Amino acid sequence: MPSALRSRSLTVLLAALTITACQTTPSLQPPAVSLRLIESQPLVLPDACQATGSVIVDFTVRRDGATDNIRSAAAPQCVQQALMAWVSSFRYAPVTADTPASVEWLLVEARKGS
């Protein structure tokens, strides 16, 4: 085999090995933790509270089932306070590790007969 052809074959082989080495196996995602809500208090909004739309509240379910690190998206202060108090009343079945979670609160108004 001529030297130029051998050099070219070696270059192609090295390029193929380099490309193959750059590919990685996708990491396996841990299975999603199944949360089971076992207790919560009713959501109480003050009568004077005016709100529309939806609000997402992010929180952590601790290993003992209590909630922690409660954070509310932008909303009127009365809505944020009510949602944070509501979520803090949630109790879940114990989990094996602290687990991030969220809930979306959606205000729907309807008139009777509509």
Dist. CA 51–CA 49, nearest whole Å: 6
Select the CATH number that applies to the domain covering 37-107 from these four: 3.30.2420.10, 3.40.50.10800, 3.40.50.2300, 3.40.50.300.
3.30.2420.10
Tell me: the pLDDT tens digits for 19-56? Answer: 555 555 555 655 566 899 999 999 988 888 887 888 99
Tokens at 106, concatenated: 């959606």
Please state the domain extents for the chain. 37-107
For position 107, what pLDDT does the model report?
Answer: 74
User: Which class for 90: exposed (0-12), middle (13-18), buried (19 or more C-beta within 10 A)?
Assistant: buried
* Model confidence band, residue 96 (pLDDT cutoffs 50, 70, 90): very high
Does this model's pTM top 0.75? My answer is no
Please give the Cα distance from 27 to 47 (Å, whole number). 50
